[in-house]
Amino acid sequence: MLTILGPHQKSYCDGISRRGFLKVGGFSMAGVASLGLPDLLRAEAASSGGGRHKAVINIFLGGGPPHQDMWEIKTDAPQEIRGEFDPIATSVPGIQIGECFPNIAAAAEKFVFIRSIVGCAGGHDAYQCFSGWDRNNSTSIGGRPAIGPVVSKLFGPTQPSVPPAMALADRTSHVPWSEPGGPGFLGAAFAPFKPDNDGLANLKLNGVTLDRLQDRKSLLGGLDLLKRKADSGGLLAGMDAFNQAAFGVLTSSKLLDALDVSKEDPELVARYGDGKPYQYQYDGAPTVNSHMLVARRLVEAGVRSVTMSYGRWDSHGKNFDLVRDHGGKLDQGVAALIQDLDDRGMLEDTTVAVWGEFGRTPRVNPNAGRDHWPRVSCCLLAGGGMRTGQAIGATNRLGEYALDRPVHMQEVIATIYHNLGIDPGTTTISDPTGRPQYLIENRIPIREII
């Protein structure tokens, strides 16, 4: 949150209070306090030139989606393993997927279906899908950073008024299913911005006119006074950079406009769907299709990384009813997102990943559900300049393990980094001890699609 309150408080700096400048929440120094003014000015200059930027939209299917009911129907397996769904043909000859995904099937030339994801840690959270790492790795130094914080650290914002990383996941009762993709050992300065209700409210001016904010000399003069009155404990270190970023956000409508889907063509909004009614949500995320539209708008506005959590796929019972519900909505939203990005000339620069923390058991349990199965999972990729229109890997006849071309979860993350313009084979970031750390261990992108 960024809040500048009006003159009803004890104030300095032409009516802007010390408390007003210090109220920083979800945006708290997020990738801006750590940047110097030259960095921000360079970003601003680059953005004014109209240049395109690379981005990722990471859609987390919290709970563990059933691989054998989505992208690889096991037609030769016994009924207690095969399940209720039939395969359907796609636009790519020889590739079939589950019947709940007709829109994705019709645009299969724009997708990569990975049917053999391995290396799942087995935890019920988004940590691994957003960072590539097991949650328990490097906890002594703060944990491993997710993709969003990494790009915030390496690239900073495309322009001062737009955070480099944002998280759209609604808070879930099971909190790890709505993780934003945390900064790990990089620290809170690089945490993604979460535009929750409070955050949105505090991105708006309250009692301070734009004309007054445009008086840069008064604003900066007030900052000098504020610094003199502040303690010397380092709280305001980098405040010049923070001031520039805060000023940029508050004097630009770009971020708020991107979050406001009412500005879109109603026909396009309808194409995405709303994901309602929300079914099988329980302690997980709702199926909010508008988050996919917001993600596209945020990338268009300059955000580099967007994460979200879509649905609750922990189907220990009524697995097939859940997949019909969640799958049909996901099919509509993802297909609309990819087409929308393509129509706007953004798909080549934007990688979209759709996956969960692990798969589901091959055998259907007595409650018509599938239980946890970290041994193999699946992933759907699109965009990012990849060679799409292919299926990679396969499980054995019963869907128990990766029989052909196992793809480690970190290979997916390495591919995303590659698409963002980051070399995962050579890039390191220093941890708090000063030791350089590679972004991931498996540093070779998926060879078939790069």
Any domain includes 327 = yes
Each residue's pLDDT tens digit, 21-42: 333 333 433 444 444 444 544 5
122-126, 143-147, 238-242, 360-364: lowest mean pLDDT where? 238-242
pLDDT at 218 > cutoff 60: no
| pLDDT reported for residue 229 | 52
3-state helix/strand/coil string of the chain: CECCECCCCCCECCCECHHHHHCECCCCCCCCCCCCHHHHHHHHHHHHCCCCCCEEEEEECCCCCCHHHCCCCCCCCCHHHHCCCCEEECCCCCCEEECCCHHHHHCHHHEEEEEEEECCCCCCCCHHHHHCCCCCCCHHHCCCCCHHHHHHHHHCCCECCECCEEECCCCCCCHHHHCCCCCHHHCHHHCCECCCHHHHHCCCCECCCHHHHHCHHHHHHHHHHHHHHCCCCCCCCCHHHHHHHHHHHHCCCHHHHHHCHHHCCHHHHHHHCCCCCCCCCCCCCCCCCHHHHHHHHHHHHCCCEEEEECCCCCCCCCHHHHHHHHHHHHHHHHHHHHHHHHHCCCHHHEEEEEECCCEECCCCCCCCCCCEECCCEEEEEEECCCCCCEEECEECCCCCCEEECCEEHHHHHHHHHHHCCCCCCCCEEECCCCCEEECCCCCCCCCCCC
CA–CA distance from 401 to each of 64, 96, 277 (Å)? 15, 19, 34
Query: What CATH code is carried by the domain that includes residue 396?
Result: 3.40.720.10
Strand partners, 309: 60
What is the mean predicted confidence (pLDDT) over 238-256? 59
Segment 189-205 shows an average pLDDT of: 72
Per-residue pLDDT of 345-367, as tens digits, reads: 999 999 999 999 999 999 999 99
Residue 256 inside a domain? The answer is no
The verdict on residue 23 lying in a domain is no
Note if the pTM is more than 0.85: no
- How would residue 52 be classed by pLDDT, with cut points 50, 70 and 90? confident
Structural domain includes residue 255: no
Torsions phi, psi of 118, nearest 5?
Answer: -125, 170
- Total count of domains within the chain: 1
Residue 6 maps to a domain: no
Residue 365 forms part of a structural domain: yes
- Which structural domain, as residue segments, surrounds residue 278? 53-193+262-438
| Residue from 378, 425, 398, 411 nearest 132 by CA | 411
Res. 389: pLDDT tops 50? yes
169 located within any domain: yes
Cα dihedral 312→315→321→325 (10° resolution): 20
pLDDT at 224: 54
Q: Would you state the pLDDT for residue 41? A: 47
Give domain status of residue 434, yes or no. Answer: yes
